[in-house]
Amino acid sequence: MKTNHTLAAEDFNRYLLAEYQNIAEAHFRTIAAISSFFRYYLLITGLPVTLIGVLIGFSPKEDLPRIFSSLSTLTSGLFFVISIVGFLVLLYVINLRMDALLYARTVNGIRKYFYDRSEIDIDAKLRTRVLPQSPFLPGYTEGRYFLPVVISFGCFNAFYLVLFVTSASNQSSIIELVAYISLKIQPVAWLVAVLNEIPLLAWLGAIFLVYVSVHIAAWLAYSRYREHAYLKSYVLGVDIDGVLNRHRHHFCDLLKEITGKTLDPDKITTIPLHEDPSLGVSREDEKQVFNDIRYWIKMPRLDDAPDNLRKLRNMFKLKIYLFTYRPWPSDEKPPGAAYKKWIACASECLKDKPLPSQGPLRTLRSVAYKIPYLNLARLKYGIWRFALEPVDVMTRCWLSENGIEYDKLIIERGSEDVSDPQGEFRNRFYISRKQKLRFFAEDDAEKASKLAYICDIVFLLKQPYNEDKDIPGNVVRVNTWEDIYKWIRKIS
């Protein structure tokens, strides 16, 4: 009798075979689309030359200068449009080619999967296998294969750009040259005409070469983007509360001091706490703790977090994006006494512990807390953009005090639970989608499940409130930050 594991493996094999067939067909359809676009492009670029040839062939030669002069404005605009549209068509063709290479890489990866599981002798495998089985081949920069296509596009587009510049800047010169050609003037007269136009020809040659170079540079830029950035991002998103700190123990300590209620941190199996009646913690109890400044500035850290984050940044060049939702203080709009107390605390933090620089705007806004007039204006007139929120400043100071290195801190706004793209809230789901975060460290099983549809891997740090939750396959349960570091080292 087949086990569940065997059945799952068979289902996965059938899925890969179907995927192999579909992607292989998509690969060849993409190649055919590239060929079709190139043919249509050549047809469009050849029309002006064909029309000029018809005019030369059927019009009296003595009338050619007058005809070209009358059509100069129209032809000039047509030349410019063809040169620009041709460049845009090339960009589209480049993307089509990159998609074809992506499909080829996917097929190679599937091929490797089946070759590795085959019991055939390795010598027979190597003799029968002709196509590669590496998901990193072929390379996106195909100098021998696709570069001639790029140069062809560049030459055609540069030719029409040169015609546009010539007709727009010195119409009589090009008219005379065309007339010389069409009237079959003696070689001496033709040579004299060309020598008279050497400065113009030098400029046109430079424009031609520069525009062709622009095409090649665009292709190389797209190749580099596809190789190093497309569908991947070297960013680790990290929730702060419950992932970088020991918030359960700290909450229970303050809860007992403020309300007199005793709560075992290991009994917290639901977040928020007031949703579990057995804990005896009301929503008002929670607010009293969260509105206490000490909860945010005295929060104990997880001891192994700073060192492992530092190693991930330095050794694997991961960018660290920190996320937290802290809409505190609550239930009091400025200028209340409690809010003034938060601002005073934030200003005190800035006096002795300047925030790490994150750009001129961030520095300017943080300095605003040191200027009393701006603080008063912010309280009195609601000028929110002059300074950071107090909890924002306290969070940054806490991170600095505890030696936690990061690249960006996002204090979430709106709803912290909505993952619908239409909402466009400033939360971890929206930013993870926008920035294409590859990893995420989370402590909330529900949020981890939503992030699993956005990130490659979500690390769920062990907490009592997430142990019995169902999670998707790419959510990995971990006990410590050392486990997260080992996982990233393994798959990088």
| Confidence at residue 381, expressed as pLDDT on a 0 to 100 scale | 39
| Confidence at residue 475, expressed as pLDDT on a 0 to 100 scale | 95
Q: Grade residue 479 by pLDDT with cuts at 50, 70 and 90.
A: very high
Is the pTM higher than 0.85? The answer reads no
Q: Render 293-318 in DSSP notation, one character per residue.
A: HHHHHSPPBPTTHHHHHHHHHHHS--
Residue with tokens 């089985």: 133
Sheet with strand 475-478: strands edge to edge: 408-411, 319-324, 235-239, 439-442, 457-461, 475-478
| Confidence at residue 268, expressed as pLDDT on a 0 to 100 scale | 92
| Confidence at residue 389, expressed as pLDDT on a 0 to 100 scale | 78
261-297 in b/e form (b: 16+ CB < 10 A) is eebeeeebeebebbeeeebebeeebeeebbbbbebbb
Task: Compute the distance between CA of residue 384 and CA of residue 319 in angstroms, rounded to an integer.
Answer: 29
Q: Which of 83-97, 337-351, 444-458 has the lowest mean pLDDT?
A: 337-351
Where is 239: in which H helix or E strand? Answer: strand 235-239
pLDDT digits (tens, 9 = 90+) for 365-422: 555 544 544 444 444 334 444 457 788 888 988 998 999 999 999 988 777 666 555 5
Task: List alpha helices for 119-197, DSSP H.
Answer: 122-128, 147-169, 171-183, 187-196
Range 69-96 average pLDDT = 82
Q: Grade residue 150 by pLDDT with cuts at 50, 70 and 90.
A: very high
* pLDDT > 70 fraction of the chain, expressed in percent and rounded: 75
Task: Compute the distance between CA of residue 284 and CA of residue 375 in angstroms, rounded to an integer.
Answer: 29
Range 232-257 average pLDDT = 93
Residue 57: pLDDT above 90?
no
Nearest C-alpha neighbor of 290 from the set 336, 346, 343, 328: 328
Beta bridge partners of 238: 322, 441
Residues in the chain: 492
Task: Compute the distance between CA of residue 285 and CA of residue 40 in angstroms, rounded to an integer.
Answer: 71
Rg value, the chain, Cα: 33
What does the block give as tokens for 430?
């929206």
Mean pLDDT of the chain: 80
What does the block give as tokens for 43?
């047809």
| Confidence at residue 108, expressed as pLDDT on a 0 to 100 scale | 85
Most confident of 252-256, 327-331, 382-386, 426-430: 252-256
Contacts of 137 (CB under 8 A, 6+ apart): 104, 105, 108
Most confident of 13-27, 61-75, 138-152, 336-350: 138-152
Question: How far lies 454's CA from each of 71, 231, 232, 451, in Å?
Answer: 56, 11, 11, 5
Task: Compute the distance between CA of residue 473 and CA of residue 467 in angstroms, rounded to an integer.
Answer: 15
